[in-house]
Amino acid sequence: MKTYQTNGAFADNYKFLIGSIIPRPIAVISTLNIDGTNNLAPFSFFTAVSASPMIIAFSPMIRTSTGDFKDTVKNILREKEFVVNFCTEDNYSQVNLSSTELPFGEDEFTFSGLTPIESQLVKARRMKESPVHFECHFRDMLCYGKNAGSGSIITGEVKLVHVDESIMKEGKISTELLKAVGRGAGNDWFKTDSRFEVERLTKAQIQK
């Protein structure tokens, strides 16, 4: 085994992160620009945090090309709300396009061929092509630096969940029908169609 001392170099550290932490789910975050147009961008540094209250987190890094916060962050800090949409086998090419750096105010839904629909609680629109939507209120932001590539954590409290009934089976979201895709290292993406079941051990079995 070779040992590496982590250093301040973004590229080296980033490669260890995206190579080891796989597969990563992809949150497609929609927010409202200051002029009322839509902003959309994918984030694979994304996880569930709390079930009660229902909290999710994602990690936008400072943009390497400008050293500035990404538009998603600026919009969330101003509007205090956002929507989490999900990336699937049916929408991943458009989601990938939505990560393009467009001039501020240019609508990433239009650019990517995705459809904005009104939300019920928040002003940010939902992505019609996503079978699940979480309408969120901004909760907290932790920042880990001001340099290009420095990350942060943004948490949101999920206030409304919308689920397309066609992906539900016996009252639950079916992994088979959701067809979520995730991100790996470099240009690698993952499908969720290669699954296996493992029964969780009960306390009695563990103590045997």
Ligand X SMILES: Cc1cc2nc3c(=O)[nH]c(=O)nc-3n(C[C@H](O)[C@H](O)[C@H](O)COP(=O)(O)O)c2cc1C
Select from 78, 83, 161 the least CA-distant residue to 122: 83
Q: Are 107 and 74 in contact (CB under 8 A)?
A: no
> Could you give the count of Cα atoms lying within 13 Å of 138 in the half-sphere of its Cβ?
21
Q: Which residue has the tokens 């929507």?
A: 83
Select from 136, 109, 129, 87 the least CA-distant residue to 33: 109
> Could you give the count of Cα atoms lying within 13 Å of 3 in the half-sphere of its Cβ?
1
> In this chain, which stretch among 77-85, 93-101, 137-145, 160-168 interacts with ligand X, using CB under 6 A?
93-101
Among 38, 71, 129, 157, binds ligand X (CB under 6 A): 71
> In this chain, which stretch among 5-13, 49-57, 64-72, 192-200 interacts with ligand X, using CB under 6 A?
64-72
Nearer CB in complex with ligand X: 70/125 = 70
**Could you say whether residue 167 binds ligand X (CB under 6 A)?**
no
> In this chain, which stretch among 1-9, 43-51, 118-126, 140-148 interacts with ligand X, using CB under 6 A?
43-51
Question: Looking at the DSSP assignment, which residues form a beta bridge with residue 151?
Answer: 61
Among 125, 133, 179, 183, binds ligand X (CB under 6 A): 183
Nearest approach in angstroms of CB 81 to ligand X is 15
Q: Are 128 and 94 in contact (CB under 8 A)?
A: no
Here's the x/- map for ligand X, 100-119, by CB under 6 A: it reads as: -x------------------
Among 13, 37, 99, 192, binds ligand X (CB under 6 A): 99
Alpha-carbon distance of 200 to 4, in angstroms, equals: 35
Q: What is the DSSP letter of 199?
A: P
Interactions with ligand X, residue window 3-42 (CB under 6 A): 26, 39, 41-42
Select from 62, 57, 70 the least CA-distant residue to 27: 57
Nearest approach in angstroms of CB 78 to ligand X is 13
Nearer CB in complex with ligand X: 42/156 = 42
Interacting residues toward ligand X by CB under 6 A:
26, 39, 41-45, 59-61, 70-72, 96, 99, 101, 183
